[in-house]
Amino acid sequence: MQVQDIEAVLAIENQVYEFPWSHGNFIDSLVAGYEAWLLDDGHAAVGYFLALQGVDEMHLLNISVAPAAQGRGHARTMLDALCRLCRQSGCLQLWLEVRQSNERARRLYRHYGFTEVGQRRAYYPAAQGQREDAVLMSLQLPAQPLATEDRP
């Protein structure tokens, strides 16, 4: 992902989330050197992720697929790319937070191998000034590629 991609990324972000990241959030992430990846289907952007690398771990901050492109394996493709990046960087663990109500994403992450390891109370903004809990999930990264990475 580059600065010139942010408008396409924001178009997806605004379709996917009720409380989307701002233009400034994406710029700040790029300037800070976060891992930022854009998935393009050859015609348009269909997804992206941003992740923050620590000493021996990676924290997935945002991963999204355009609504029209969902259900086609794009999230798995991006998770595969992120896991490869983790191994190349020497990361042993991948972390993320997901809305407690987002059962579709939680199911995807569990199927991928993530484990629900905790909860962050009132982590996400919600309707009418409320807050929603996040489920903290973790994936131990093996030295060998994950089974899903072996697919063509």
Closest CA to 54 of 26, 84, 95: 95
Measured between alpha carbons, how far is 123 from 126 in angstroms, rounded to an integer?
9
- In the predicted structure, residue 147 carries a pLDDT above the cut 60: no
CATH number of domain containing 17: 3.40.630.30
Please tell me the total count of domains within the chain: 1
Catalytic residue numbers?
Answer: 97, 109
Per-residue pLDDT of 102-118, as tens digits, reads: 999 999 999 999 999 99
Domain extent at residue 56:
3-150
How would residue 145 be classed by pLDDT, with cut points 50, 70 and 90?
low
| CA atoms within a 13 Å half-sphere pointing along the CA-CB vector of 44 | 11
How would residue 148 be classed by pLDDT, with cut points 50, 70 and 90?
low
**Tell me, what amino acid is at 112?**
Y
Per-residue pLDDT of 46-95, as tens digits, reads: 999 999 999 899 999 999 999 999 999 999 999 999 999 999 999 999 99
